[in-house]
Amino acid sequence: MKEQLHTSIFYADDDVDDLDFFREAASELNEVVSLFEEGQELLIQLHNPPPNASVIFLDLNMPVKSGFDVLKEIKSSDTVKGVPVIILTTSTNPNDIALCKNLGASLYVRKPTSVGGLKKMVSHVLTIDWNNFIPSDKEFVYQH
C-alpha cells in the first residue's frame, strides 16, 4: 500500500484568530500545518526540521520581526530559499506588493474573509507547480 504524502504547510501570523481560521481551513483540506505566532519561531523551525516546510504562508504585519524581515531571511538562506513563500496579509498597498515580489515572495494574497475562501486559496496554492511558476505582475497577486 502506497503511503500518501502530505504537504507540510508553515504559517506565521501574530493574530491568534487568523491562525485558528487557517488551522480550520487546512484541517478541512486534510493538510498538515505548523502554526507560529511570530516570524522568529517560524525561522527556527525551518532550520531545525522535521517537519520540512513544503510551502510557507507569511503575514506581513508582525511585531519583533516583520514578514518582510522573515521573507528576506528565508530567501537569503541556502537551505530554505527554494520553499515557496505566500504572503497572506490585509495590505493592498502597491508598495508592499512590489517589495514582496522584489524580495522573492512566490504569491501575494489578501486574507480571505471566510473559511471557504481560505480553503479555496490554499487548495489553489497547493496545485501550483512551484518549480515552473514564474508569475506575471498580474498573476503575482492572487484574486479571490
How do residues 49-63 score in pLDDT, each as one tens digit? Answer: 889 999 999 999 999
pLDDT at 2 over 50: no
* Total Cβ atoms within 10 A of residue 5: 8
Q: What is the DSSP letter of 35?
A: E
Please identify which residue in the block is written with the cell numbers 514578514. 67
Task: Quick: pLDDT tens for 53-97.
Answer: 999 999 999 999 999 999 999 999 999 999 999 999 999 999 999
pLDDT at 143 over 70: yes
Sheet with 85-89, strands from edge to edge, namely 32-36, 8-12, 55-58, 85-89, 107-110, 141-142
How confident is the model at residue 7, as a pLDDT?
63
Q: Are 11 and 41 in contact (CB under 8 A)?
A: no
Q: pTM of the entire structure?
A: 0.93
Residue 63 to residue 72: CA distance in whole angstroms: 16
